[in-house]
A and B are shown apart, each in its own frame.
Chain A
Amino acid sequence: EIVMTQSPATLSVSPGERATLSCRASQSVSSNLAWYQQKPGQAPRLLIYGASTRATGIPARFSGSGSGTEFTLTISSLQSEDFAVYYCQQYNNWPLYTFGQGTKLEIK
């Protein structure tokens, strides 16, 4: 099983600032990585697939990068609606998709 590790567990950032979230895979997943956003009481929402391609309707302030075992989700200028929990997911080891444990992005 490929283990996905996200850091930090909690990130405190002020509105308007940049947020950088990390995700590490226990073995290479190439660029087969997705990012999801989840707000309290809501279902996850797909943000990024292919490590760097934004899903339909996702604002340009969200960007993804990385390949192999190291990945980053960057939110360039935080809006109030961006404070949520973010999960990475690998789909290299199909169908045993695995998620990271999540990073909570909170208002500083």
Chain B
Amino acid sequence: EVQLVESGGGLVQPGGSLRLSCAASGFTFSSYEMNWVRQAPGKGLEWVSYISSSGSTIYYADSVKGRFTISRDNAKNSLYLQMNSLRAEDTAVYYCARHKRWLQLHDAFDIWGQGTMVTVSS
């Protein structure tokens, strides 16, 4: 079964750090680009970060640039998000999502994890 399982969420004080993990199974992880997407309580979806299959290309949303770092370990079938200098507005459910491309013409996030909650509060 194709699956993504996030972990590492929790309660952290403003200015603190947290590292999220996403364990992939059921597919060749090293062949896929990956993303992190977040959803604040009662709000919509916000793309956070992208990493290529090799890890050589990385992008961030402006809202997290300079504070968050995406990485992956293909040998461990795992994706990570290191979050530093956390703010109250970073409070959200964080999802990892597989990036699927069809014939280099279309792409979308075809597999999502169940999400992990991050709460930034004193």
Q: A83 — which chain B residues lie within 8 A by C-beta? A: none
- Interface pair B106/A49, CB less than 8 Å apart: yes
Within 8 A of B (CB), among A38-70: 38, 42-46, 49-50, 53, 55-56
- Interface pair B45/A87, CB less than 8 Å apart: yes
Q: Mark B35-52, 1 if CB is under 8 A from A, else 0.
A: 101000000111100100
Select A32's contact among B45, B46, B95, B106, beta carbons within 8 Å: B106
A52, chain B: closest CB distance, angstroms: 10
The answer to the question of B108 belonging to the interface, with a C-beta cut-off of 8 Å to chain A, is yes
The answer to the question of B11 belonging to the interface, with a C-beta cut-off of 8 Å to chain A, is no
Interface stretch (choices B13-21, B76-84, B111-119):
B111-119
- Interface pair A102/B50, CB less than 8 Å apart: no
Interface residue count on the B side (C-beta < 8 Å): 21
Select B108's contact among A34, A38, A43, A96, beta carbons within 8 Å: A34
The answer to the question of B1 belonging to the interface, with a C-beta cut-off of 8 Å to chain A, is no
- Interface pair B109/A44, CB less than 8 Å apart: yes
Select B102's contact among A49, A89, A97, A99, beta carbons within 8 Å: A49
Bound: A89/B37 CA distance, A: 12
A83, chain B: closest CB distance, angstroms: 17
Bound: A95/B58 CA distance, A: 9
- Interface pair A95/B106, CB less than 8 Å apart: no
Instruction: Answer whether A91 and B107 are a contact pair too, CB < 8 Å, given A43-B113, A43-B115, A96-B61.
Output: yes
Q: A44 — which chain B residues lie within 8 A by C-beta? A: 37, 45, 95, 109, 112
Q: Which residues of B contact A (CB under 8 A)?
A: 35, 37, 44-47, 50, 59, 61, 95, 102, 105-110, 112-115
